């Protein structure tokens, strides 16, 4: 697979994958490593036989995320309005997100932080929309427990 | 309250990832598809299930790191002749991964360095071109006079990718003893370079097929193509099928005058200036028996039950050929003949599927080998019959224990388990499709993370019963419309078969 083709795939898909990995793994370095693994595997494998590159990349990214697990936490969220954030506030939100089980965390990341509908979340994760919704509901209940 | 979002990737990450990915692609291990695909093709042609388990990929030769190649290029200009020779030899040894850097060189320290770089480029380019062009040819072992059959041929390039070097490829079928008779042209396909090229789908005695319009384009070209054509033997007897590749740049230049805009002889990147020069021929012999195929179908309606049974058994042996013929029959003479034909069709369709289990890397504890389950229908097209398929991976010493399902994915019909992030066991009825259409093209990739070392048994099974499906589905779900014959569950092949059973060793 040549660099130009890879660059095209990267430009078209890397940003949401990186954001997802950041949210899932809880730090930017691990997200960058995971994203690199996704693209290294894609380059080794080639595009041949991949019917839907978006599906492939998301599955691979989730796989990388699950594989890496959460190793260390470092600030990864940024205020959406570009203003300075209270570090304690940000850390509380990050910790709450990271305390969720992986399958709930990925739904929260995609639904809340990436603004996807449950249908879209379901498609991304390969689960029915209802399952995505119920995982979100469980996540909310869990977040209430940690009082965020 | 502050609203947070996730950060975009830093711009410098792009180059880092692309560098790493490109280096990994260069170091990619060779695949062993060539023989496998032909074996599959051959088996499918024979109406036999092709079960191919591809072993773990071997470690590849390390990609020459860019700085090592740069150092060797520098050594080509060394004052020590021995060092220059060694650098040349090492660069040739590195081969293709060094080619890009060598070709990118614009300035040279000396004429000798330039000459050596050019020589190394020539050697590597020739080596990679000649390296691995393979022809494979497989024919149905069931032929009959007046009946259409498949012949498959595969050309594999040096990257182990299947390619078609068709412009210079000819396939000839001739009765044994008359191999030199000229081709009888069944249909003509003229291209810009060889007006004598013909593309033949259905011919009588002879076929010449320089085919569609591609030459082997470049070392990195990975265009895929396993091609086949049909042949209708005119009469019983022995036939020789031969594939010949012959290319001479000089002959090409004489065929294609420089005035033709399509053949630019001055452009070294053009396929005709890159193509492998030489000649290779592969030949197989096929026997067309005297038995008449239509007579077999007639015998399905015989008065004698034994005769009907014998005809059924004989038709089964004809595999794809029988399937084509039986599916084309619209009117049967009797319900008995129809029932027998339908039974043969069902069995042959199920047998006509081929399954491959491919490991991307050797399984090891904590590792995540990617498992590719490639299912081909009887036309060699990839697909997934997933809802009706199960994949189980179980330690051989725990075969009796039930699956420990860790990741559940409930769909409307069955409690399917997607083998994503699963533990000791994986049950994968896969994503959610059946044989949607005979031409459906689907492929599934799955991961498995072994938890401990040892031997594991892998089974892949296909089982579908419409009655059971209806029982499970009971019409309560909007997605299972029993009254719609177009729905996949009303079209899928009924039957049950374990298609792959194998063992794999997981290392620490």
DSSP B380-422: S-EE--GGGEEEEEEEGGGTTSPP---S----SSS-----SS-
For residue B340, CA distances in Å to B312, B490, B492 come to 7, 20, 19
Among A10-19, B83-92, B297-306, which stretch is predicted with the lowest mean pLDDT?
Answer: B83-92
Which DSSP helix (H) or strand (E) runs through B51?
strand B51-54
Instruction: Name which of A25, A63, A93 to mutate to probe chain B: the one with the most chain B Cβ atoms within 10 A of its Cβ.
Output: A63
Min CA distance, B428 vs chain A (Å)? 14
What's the whole-number average pLDDT of chain B?
60
Using the beta-carbon criterion (under 8 Å), do A51 and B21 form an inter-chain contact? no
Residue closest to B3 by CA, chosen among A46, A79, A83, A97: A79
Residue B28 confidence class, pLDDT cut points 50, 70, 90: very low
Q: What is the mean pLDDT of residues B255-266?
A: 63
Nearest partner of B224 among B234, B216, B232, judged by Cα: B216
| CB B73 within 8 Å of CB B105 | yes
Report the distance separating Cα A69 and Cα A34, nearest Å. 10
Which are the contacts of B121, defined by CB distance < 8 A and separation ≥ 6?
B99, B102, B103
> Searching chain A, which residue's CA lies closest to the CA of residue B431?
A126
**Is residue A111 predicted with pLDDT exceeding 80?**
yes
Q: How far apart are CA B216 and CA B211, in angstroms?
A: 13
Q: Is the pLDDT of residue B423 over 60?
A: no
Whether residue B438 is predicted with pLDDT greater than 50 in this model: the reply is: no
B409 Cβ under 8 Å from any chain A Cβ: yes
The arithmetic mean of pLDDT across residues B53-73, rounded, is 54
User: What's the pLDDT band for B209 if we cut at 50, 70, 90?
Assistant: very low
Of residues A102 and B39, more confidently modeled? A102
Does the pLDDT of residue A65 top 50, yes or no?
yes
Over range B271-293, report the average pLDDT.
66
Residue B17: which of A116, A6, A78 has the closest Cα? A6
> Does B9 contact A80 at a Cβ distance shorter than 8 Å?
no
Confidence label for B20 from pLDDT (cuts 50, 70 and 90)? confident
d(CA B158, CA B398): 43
d(CA B399, CA B422): 17
Contact B2 A83 (CB under 8 A): yes
Q: Is the pLDDT of residue B40 over 50?
A: no
pLDDT at residue B359 above 80?
no
CB distance B312 to B298 below 8 Å: no
Comparison of pLDDT for A97 and B468, the residue scoring more: A97
Chain B: residue whose CA lies nearest to A22? B6
Residues of A in contact with B220 (CB under 8 A): 2
The shortest C-alpha distance from B239 to chain A (Å) reads 36
Interface test with A, best of B8, B16, B17 (most A CBs within 10 A): B17
Decide which of A85 and A136 is more confident. A136
Question: Nearest Cα to B464, choosing from B438, B489, B439?
Answer: B489
Beta strand pairing call for B354-359 and B51-54: parallel
pLDDT (0 to 100) of residue B145: 67
B199: pLDDT confidence band, cut at 50, 70 and 90?
Answer: very low
Q: What's the pLDDT at A17?
A: 92
Closest CA to B359 of B463, B502, B221: B502
Give pLDDT, residue B374: 60
| pLDDT beyond 70 at B89 | yes
Q: Which of B4, B380, B439 to mutate to test the interface with A (most CBs of A within 10 A)?
A: B4
What beta strand segments (E) does B160-288 contain?
Answer: 162-163, 169-175, 226-231, 237-247, 278-288
- The model carries a pTM of 0.33
For residue B442, name the pLDDT band (cuts at 50, 70, 90).
very low
- Which residues of chain A from 104 to 133 reach within 8 Å of chain B, CB to CB? 109, 113-114, 126-128, 131
pLDDT (0 to 100) of residue A121: 86
User: How many Å separate Cα A40 from the centre of its chain?
Assistant: 18
Of the partner residues B9, B441, B447, the one whose CB lies closest to the CB of residue A15? B9
* A:27-56 residues touching chain B, CB 8 A cutoff: 28, 32, 35-36, 39-46, 48-49, 51, 56
Nearest by Cα to A98 from A115, A75, A121: A75
pLDDT of the residue at B340? 92
- Confidence check: pLDDT of B154 > 80: no
Confidence band for B361, pLDDT divided at 50, 70 and 90: low
pLDDT cut 70: percent of chain B above it: 35
- Helix, strand, coil content of chain A in percent (nearest 5): 70, 0, 25
Q: What's the gap in Å between the CA of B31 and the closest CA on chain A?
A: 10
**pLDDT category of residue B34 using cuts at 50, 70 and 90:** very low
Helices (H), B163-282: 249-255, 271-274
Nearest residue of chain B to residue A47 (CA atoms): B222
- From the list A2, A36, A81, the residue facing B220 with the nearest CB is A2
Q: Is the pLDDT of residue B70 over 50?
A: yes
Polymer length in residues for chain A:
148
pLDDT over 50 (residue B182): no
Secondary structure percentages of chain B, helix, strand, coil, to 5: 30, 20, 45
Place of tokens 């839907």: A52
Say yes or no for a CB contact (<8 Å) between A113 and B5. Answer: yes
| B81-85 contacts, C-beta under 8 A, 24 or more apart | B84/B112, B84/B116
**Residue B200 to residue B185: CA distance in whole angstroms:** 8
In terms of Cα–Cα distance, which of B230, B245, B231 is closest to B164? B245
Give the range among B7-11, B134-138, B240-244, B494-498 with minimum mean pLDDT.
B134-138
Instruction: Find which of A8, A39, A106 to mutate to test the B interface (most B CBs within 10 Å of its CB).
Output: A39
Please check the confidence at residue B441 and state whether its pLDDT lies above 60.
Answer: no
> If you average pLDDT over each of A124-128, B111-115, B299-303, which comes out highest?
B299-303
Tell me how close the Cα of A120 comes to any Cα of chain B, in angstroms.
Answer: 17
Which chain A residue lies closest to B359 (C-alpha atoms)?
A: A45
Closest CA to B253 of B230, B270, B233, B232: B270
Give the CA distances from residue B317 to residues B38, B235, B321, in Å, rounded to whole numbers and listed in that order: 20, 20, 9
pLDDT the model gives residue A115: 81
The pair of three-digit structure tokens given for residue B52, joined into one six-digit string: 């191919």
- pLDDT at residue number B178: 56
The answer to whether residue A69 scores a pLDDT higher than 50 is: yes
Contact of B421 with chain A, judged by CB distance below 8 Å, is answered with: yes
State the alpha helices, DSSP H only, in B256-318.
271-274, 293-299, 305-317
CA distance A137 to chain B (A): 17
What pLDDT band is residue B337 in, cutting at 50, 70 and 90? very high
Q: Would you state the pLDDT for residue B365?
A: 76
Please compute, for residue B147, the number of CA atoms within 13 A of its CA located in the half-sphere on the CB side. 29
Are the Cβ atoms of B7 and A85 closer than 8 angstroms? no
The whole-angstrom distance between A139's CA and the closest CA on chain B is: 17
Which residues in chain B are contacts of A56 at CB distance < 8 A? 445
Q: What angle do CA B199, B205, B207 make, to 5 degrees?
A: 25
Residue in B204, B210, B225 with CA at minimum distance from that of residue B148: B204
Q: How confident is the model at residue B66 (pLDDT cuts 50, 70, 90)?
A: confident
Q: pLDDT tens digits, residue range A33-61?
A: 889 888 888 887 777 767 778 888 888 88
The DSSP result for B223-239, as a single string, is ---EEEEEE--SSSEEE
- Average pLDDT for residues B370-376, to the nearest whole number? 59
Q: Which residues of chain A make contact with B224, given a CB cutoff of 8 A?
A: 48
pLDDT for residue B280 is more than 60: yes
Kindly tell me if the per-residue pLDDT of B203 is higher than 60.
Answer: no
Q: Is the pLDDT of residue A11 over 80?
A: yes
Burial class (CB in 10 A: 0-12, 13-18, 19+), B313: exposed
The owner of tokens 């594939």 is B243
Name every chain A residue with its beta carbon within 8 A of the beta carbon of B25: 1-2, 6, 43-44, 46
List Cα–Cα distances, B72 to A20, B62, B63, B87, B165, in angstroms: 42, 16, 14, 5, 35
Written as one string, the DSSP assignment of B75-144 is: HTT-S-HHHHHHHHHHHHHH-HHHHHHHHH----SSHHHHHHHHHHHHHHHHHHHHHT-EEEEEE-S---
Best residue of A5, A20, A49, A106 to probe chain B, by most B CBs closer than 10 Å: A49
Joined tokens for residue B23: 């280096």
């Amino acid at each position: 697979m040549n660099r130009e083709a890879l660059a095209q795939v990267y430009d078209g898909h890397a940003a949401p994958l990186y954001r997802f990995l950041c949210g899932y793994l809880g730090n930017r370095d691990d997200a960058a490593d995971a994203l690199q693994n996704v693209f290294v595997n894609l380059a080794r494998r080639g595009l041949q036989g991949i019917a839907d590159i978006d599906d492939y990349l998301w599955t691979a990214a989730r796989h990388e995320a699950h594989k890496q697990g959460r190793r260390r936490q470092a600030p990864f969220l940024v205020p959406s309005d570009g203003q300075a954030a209270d570090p304690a506030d940000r850390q509380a939100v990050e910790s709450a997100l990271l305390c969720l089980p992986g399958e709930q965390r990925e739904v929260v990341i995609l639904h809340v932080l990436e603004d996807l509908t449950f249908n879209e979340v379901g498609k991304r994760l390969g689960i029915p929309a209802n399952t995505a919704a119920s995982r979100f509901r469980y996540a909310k209940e869990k977040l209430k427990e940690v009082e965020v | 309250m502050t609203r947070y979002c996730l950060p975009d990737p830093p711009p410098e990450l792009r180059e880092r990832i692309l560098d790493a990915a490109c280096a990994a692609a260069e170091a990619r291990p060779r695949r062993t598809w060539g023989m496998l695909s032909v074996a599959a093709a051959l088996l499918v042609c024979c109406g036999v299930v092709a079960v191919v388990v591809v072993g773990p990929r071997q470690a590849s030769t390390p990609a020459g790191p860019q700085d090592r190649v740069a150092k060797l290029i520098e050594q080509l200009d060394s004052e020590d002749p021995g060092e220059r020779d060694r650098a040349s030899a090492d660069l040739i040894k590195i081969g293709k991964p060094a080619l890009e850097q060598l070709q990118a060189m614009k300035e040279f320290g000396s004429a000798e360095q330039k000459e050596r770089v050019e020589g190394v480029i020539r050697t590597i380019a020739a080596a990679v071109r000649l390296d691995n062009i393979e022809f494979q040819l497989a024919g149905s072992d069931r032929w009959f006079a007046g009946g259409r059959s498949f012949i498959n041929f595969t050309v594999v390039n040096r990257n182990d990718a299947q390619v078609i070097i068709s412009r210079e490829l000819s396939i000839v079928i001739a009765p044994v003893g008359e191999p030199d008779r000229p081709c009888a042209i069944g249909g003509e396909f003229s291209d810009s370079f060889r007006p004598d090229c013909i593309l033949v789908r259905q011919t009588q005695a002879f076929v010449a097929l320089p085919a569609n319009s591609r030459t082997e384009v470049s070392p990195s070209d990975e265009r895929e193509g396993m091609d086949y054509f049909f042949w209708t033997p005119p009469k019983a007897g022995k036939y020789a099928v031969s594939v010949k590749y012959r290319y001479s740049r000089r002959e090409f230049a004489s065929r294609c005058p420089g005035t033709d805009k399509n053949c630019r002889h001055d452009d070294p990147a053009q396929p005709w200036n890159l193509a492998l020069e030489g000649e290779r021929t592969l030949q197989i012999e096929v026997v067309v028996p005297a038995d008449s195929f239509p007579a077999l179908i007639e015998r399905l309606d015989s008065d004698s039950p034994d005769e009907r049974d014998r005809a059924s058994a004989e038709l089964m042996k004809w595999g794809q050929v029988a399937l084509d013929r039986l599916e084309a029959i619209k009117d049967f003479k009797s319900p008995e003949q129809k029932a027998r034909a339908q039974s043969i069709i069902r069995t042959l369709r199920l047998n006509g599927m081929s399954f491959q289990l491919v490991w991307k890397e050797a399984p090891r504890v904590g590792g995540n080998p990617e498992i590719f389950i490639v299912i081909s229908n009887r036309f060699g097209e990839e697909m997934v019959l997933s809802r009706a398929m199960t994949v189980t991976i179980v330690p051989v010493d725990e075969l009796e224990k039930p699956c420990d399902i860790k990741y559940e994915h409930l769909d409307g019909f069955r409690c399917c388990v997607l083998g994503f992030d699963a533990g000791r066991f994986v049950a994968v009825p896969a994503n959610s499709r059946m044989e949607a259409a005979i031409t459906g093209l689907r492929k599934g990739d799955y991961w498995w993370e072994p938890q401990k070392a040892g031997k594991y048994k892998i089974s892949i099974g296909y089982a579908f019963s419409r009655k059971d499906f209806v029982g499970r589905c009971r019409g309560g779900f909007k997605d299972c419309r029993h009254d719609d014959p177009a729905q996949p569950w009303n079209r899928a092949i009924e039957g049950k078969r374990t298609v792959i059973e194998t063992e794999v060793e997981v290392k620490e």
